[in-house]
């Protein structure tokens, strides 16, 4: 190295001969990178196209349809291996014996008579080529007949399928050829049939380039359905696709996927896989070993999951369902409200559009105490259900009309004067009958000339202090919400951003965190409030094509007579609820049967108590089954030949020779008994029965939620 920092021209040990300096070359310009520095390589569309083209045959309720292969309705009879191999060997020996007896002439020459009857006498001459060919062909024919007979007798085909090369090859099947363009979903044949060829070409090109995801496909399919229904125009849809491609018709949040997925989803069918149906004799054979999945067609009948703490209700049921419904909301197909305790693991905040953290001063959103309605009677009905719905007579025919009347007598006059409903402290003062607020309200009504509302207020004041007045109970329940932790919540003055369940006309994703710690009673009131507002909102939606679902991670204290009636009405509104309970003891005894009857999907997780199992056993009912009473009597051989035959039979079957008497009876027994539900469900498993919105049923299935 010279002093100026350049390397000299002298040789090195590897190249001792000095070389002349080459003329300087222009440095080559590196090619432009296809992606930004540090970005992962752009994937091709093979994975997406494989997912899109995978068959999804029609299946029974609850079956994971993605790549499903239907199974027979009845389980085929499977012969034990020892008996199968022994029978195959014996049949081979019998065939060999028969051929040997024929070949050596011990059975006479009668089996050659057909040969002599069909060939000319001249061919029978010895040492002729024709005679040799014909005779040996006849021998081969007889050998094949014997082989076919003994193969059928010894089930050689079953041996070949079970132990031969078909059982050795475990390679994946060869990829299928792409379907014809008119049947290929990746080519968007529906758009081409409607004349939108340019939009179809743009979407097909982005699918092949790896720029389209399953959420994009589901969202665009939903938008195209709106075009077919007349909700949107074809020109607007085509223009959006040509402008934005796979990112057209985005969700208002602008998101095209969730931050993370924890379970398999199939947005083409709307299913989410929860586990695998166990290969158990108590499960119907078509379900054994298949994936267990839920979708809107099943959640539309509502789901009740019961299991103790730690049985997997939140991690195995609630979070996968919330994740699936959030994906469908991004596709414009559903709206979801998830209610649970703060920190319950219901998904990251980025997966939701609205997160209401009640009791947390950093919460961006507030909860509208009156559900966004302007009707005092409707607001009073919803609020009464939330405050004292659990105190109503648990008989299914009871209601809370007295509490509704008391609240309406106060909410109507207050709104007429102030143009809004009262805040929590103001409502508490009115229910307590404080003379100052009531007098000010009366004076304002008198000045406004609201005579009808004055009569309402007079009736309320006459009932104050009577033994049957429920205002004191309502005031005590409102006091649970009038705490310093909730001082900045339930604002009615317009200074906060209250969320109202009236927004369920749109594909919105909502999570409500309840303050469980230190405010358990207030959390139950708020859970009942959300359920009552949800039932009232979905019933008056204009667009019922959106599936609406409410997920309550803990429904303790939420099940009331009015709540049971609301669950029964949700199916006709294209809505459903998911309720989880630690035990059915959290539900009043008269409401357990109606609750189990109102929900179409019922899940009993492992660790259930026998008395909870008894309620599930009753609602699942009984079935006719065939029982076989078998009586075996050992046969004792007295002759040496008989003993030899019995020994051979024991070697082949592995059992002693017996005379069997079988009695077959038809008996009626429970599908799952209370004892089986309490003690025969392994950890991580659940027993689940399903009913879809069309009325199709699936019997109780033992499901592995970890598979």
The pLDDT tens digits for 82-99 are 888 888 888 899 889 988
Q: Is the full-model pTM beyond 0.85?
A: no
| Residue from 90, 74, 92 nearest 82 by CA | 90
3-state class percentages of the chain: helix first, strand second, coil last, to nearest 5: 45, 15, 40
Of 44-48, 186-190, 469-473, which range is least confident?
44-48
What is the DSSP track for 217-255? HHHHHHHHHHHHHTSS-HHHHHHHHHHHGGG-S--TT--
pLDDT, residue 126, reads 59
Whether the CB-CB separation of 681 and 604 falls below 8 Å is answered with yes
pLDDT at 19: 39
The fraction of the chain above a pLDDT of 90, given in percent, is: 50
pLDDT tens sequence across 241-264: 999 999 999 999 999 999 999 999
What count of other Cβ atoms lies within 10 Å of the Cβ of residue 655?
A: 12
How far apart CA 388 and CA 470 sit, in angstroms, is 9
Tokens 């919460």 appear where? 363
Nearest-5° Cα angle at 551, 547 to 555: 140
pLDDT at 122: 67
Q: Can you give the pLDDT at residue 701?
A: 96
pLDDT at 13: 34
Write out pLDDT tens, residues 466-508: 777 888 899 999 999 999 988 888 988 878 888 999 889 899 9
Task: Specify the pairing of strand 334-341 against strand 509-514.
Answer: parallel
**Three-state secondary structure of 560-604:** CHHHHHHHHHCHHHCEEEEEEECCHHHCCHHHHHHHHHHCCEEEE
pLDDT digits (tens, 9 = 90+) for 351-382: 999 999 998 888 999 999 998 888 999 999 99
Per-residue pLDDT reduced to its tens digit, 284-300: 999 999 999 999 999 99
Specify the range with the lowest mean pLDDT, choosing from 39-53, 73-87, 142-156. 39-53
Q: What's the start-to-end Cα distance of the chain, in Å?
A: 67
Residue 555 · residue 577 · CB < 8 Å? no
**Whole-number percent of the chain with pLDDT over 70:** 90
Indicate the angle between helix axes 435-448 and 401-418, nearest 10 degrees: 60
Structure confidence at residue 446 (pLDDT): 85
Model confidence band, residue 64 (pLDDT cutoffs 50, 70, 90): very high
| pLDDT given at position 20 | 39
pLDDT at 115 over 80: no
Who has greater pLDDT, 154 or 531? Answer: 531
In eight-state DSSP terms, residue 412 is: H
Average pLDDT, the chain: 85
pLDDT over 70 at 681, yes or no: yes
Indicate whether 5 pLDDT > 60: no
Q: Residue 615 in contact with residue 667, Cβ under 8 Å? A: no
What was the pLDDT predicted at 176? Answer: 60
CB 302 within 8 A of CB 577: yes
- Residue 11: predicted pLDDT: 37
pLDDT for the residue numbered 34: 45
Residue 636 banded pLDDT, cuts 50, 70, 90: confident
- Is the model's pLDDT at 461 over the cut of 70? yes
Residue with the larger pLDDT of the pair 402 and 79 = 402
Using N-to-C axis directions, what is the helix angle for 156-163 and 81-103, rounded to 10°? 130
| 137-141, 198-202, 250-254, 504-508: least confidently modelled range | 137-141
Q: How confident is the model at residue 204 (pLDDT cuts 50, 70, 90)?
A: very high
Maximum mean pLDDT: which of 178-182, 194-198, 335-339, 632-636? 335-339
Count, residues in the chain: 707
Comparing 451 with 297, the larger pLDDT belongs to: 297
Contacts of 45 (CB under 8 A, 6+ apart): 206, 207, 208, 209, 210, 211, 212
What burial letters (b/e) apply to 484-506, b meaning 16+ CB within 10 Å?
eebeebbbbeeebebbbbbbbbe
d(CA 266, CA 328): 10
pLDDT of residue 395: 58
Residue 587 pLDDT exceeds 80:
yes
Helices (H), 104-128: 113-118
Average pLDDT over residues 544-566: 93
Measured at the CA of 186, the angle between CA 509 and CA 260, to 5 degrees, comes to: 35
Strands 334-341 and 547-552: parallel
Q: What is the pLDDT of residue 305?
A: 96
Q: What is the token pair recorded at 605? A: 């997780």
Average pLDDT on 504-522 reads 90
632: part of which helix (H) or strand (E)? strand 622-634
> CA-based angle 311:317:321, to the nearest 5?
165
**Would you say residue 3 has pLDDT above 50?**
no
């Amino acid at each position: 190295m010279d002093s100026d920092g350049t390397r000299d021209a002298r040789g090195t040990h590897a190249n001792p001969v000095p070389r002349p300096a080459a003329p300087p070359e222009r440095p080559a310009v590196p090619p432009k990178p296809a992606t930004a520095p540090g970005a992962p390589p752009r994937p091709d569309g093979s994975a997406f196209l494989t997912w899109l083209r995978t068959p999804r045959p029609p299946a029974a309720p609850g079956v994971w349809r993605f790549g499903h292969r239907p199974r027979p309705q009845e389980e085929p009879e499977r012969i034990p291996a020892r008996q199968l191999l022994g029978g195959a060997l014996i049949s081979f020996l019998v065939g060999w014996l028969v051929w040997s007896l024929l070949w050596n002439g011990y059975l006479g020459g009668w089996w050659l008579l057909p040969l002599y009857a069909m060939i000319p006498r001249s061919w029978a001459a010895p040492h002729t080529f024709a005679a040799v060919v014909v005779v040996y062909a006849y021998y081969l024919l007889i050998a094949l007949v014997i082989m076919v007979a003994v193969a059928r007798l010894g089930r050689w085909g079953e041996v070949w399928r079970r132990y031969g090369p078909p059982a050795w090859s475990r390679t994946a099947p060869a990829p299928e050829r792409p379907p014809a363009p008119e049947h290929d979903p990746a080519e968007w044949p529906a758009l081409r049939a409607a004349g939108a060829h340019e939009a179809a070409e743009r979407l097909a090109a982005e699918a092949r380039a790896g720029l389209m995801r399953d959420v994009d496909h589901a969202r665009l399919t939903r938008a195209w359905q709106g075009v077919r229904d007349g909700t949107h125009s074809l020109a607007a849809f085509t223009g959006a696709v040509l402008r934005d491609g796979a990112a057209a018709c985005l969700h208002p949040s602008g998101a095209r996927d969730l931050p993370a997925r924890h379970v398999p989803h199939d947005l083409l069918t709307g299913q989410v896989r929860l586990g695998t149906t166990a290969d158990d004799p108590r499960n119907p054979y078509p379900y054994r070993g298949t994936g267990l999945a839920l979708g809107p067609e099943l959640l539309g009948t509502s789901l009740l999951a019961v299991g103790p703490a730690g049985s997997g209700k939140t991690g195995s049921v609630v979070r996968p369902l919330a994740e699936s419904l959030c994906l469908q909301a991004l596709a414009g197909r559903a709206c979801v409200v998830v209610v649970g305790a703060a920190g319950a693991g219901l998904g990251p905040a980025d997966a939701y559009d609205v997160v209401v953290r009640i009791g947390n001063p950093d919460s961006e959103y507030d909860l509208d105490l009156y559900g966004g309605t302007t009707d005092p009677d409707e607001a009073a009905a919803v609020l009464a259900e939330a405050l004292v719905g659990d105190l109503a007579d648990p008989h299914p025919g009871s209601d809370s009309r007295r509490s509704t009347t008391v609240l309406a007598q106060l909410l109507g006059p207050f709104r007429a004067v102030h143009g809004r409903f009262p805040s929590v402290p103001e409502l508490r003062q009115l229910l307590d009958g404080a003379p100052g607020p009531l007098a000010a309200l009366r004076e304002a009504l008198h000045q406004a000339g609201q005579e009808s509302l004055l009569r309402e207020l007079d009736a309320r004041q006459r009932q104050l202090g009577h033994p049957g007045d429920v205002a004191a109970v309502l005031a005590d329940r409102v006091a649970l919400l009038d705490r310093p932790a909730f001082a900045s919540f339930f604002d009615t003055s317009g200074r906060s951003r209250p969320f109202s369940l009236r927004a369920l006309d749109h594909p919105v994703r909502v999570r409500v965190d309840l303050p469980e710690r230190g405010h358990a009673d207030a959390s139950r009131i708020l859970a009942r409030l959300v359920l009552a507002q949800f039932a009232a909102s979905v019933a008056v939606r204009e667009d019922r094509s959106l599936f609406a679902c409410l997920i309550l991670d803990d429904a303790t204290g939420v099940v009331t007579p009015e709540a049971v009636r609301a669950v029964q009405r949700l199916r006709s509104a294209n809505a459903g609820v998911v309720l989880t309970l630690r035990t059915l003891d959290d539900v009043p005894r008269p409401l357990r049967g109606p609750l189990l009857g109102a929900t179409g999907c019922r899940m009993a997780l492992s660790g259930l108590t026998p008395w909870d199992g008894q309620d599930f056993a009753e609602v699942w009912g009984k079935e006719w089954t065939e029982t076989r009473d078998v009586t075996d009597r050992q046969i004792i051989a007295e002759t040496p030949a008989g003993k030899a035959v019995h020994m051979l039979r024991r070697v082949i079957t592995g059992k002693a020779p017996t005379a069997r008497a079988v009695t077959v009876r038809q008996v009626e027994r429970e599908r799952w008994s209370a004892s089986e539900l309490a003690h025969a469900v392994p950890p991580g498993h659940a027993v689940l029965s399903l009913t879809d919105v069309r009325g199709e049923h699936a019997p109780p299935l033992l499901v592995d939620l970890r598979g």
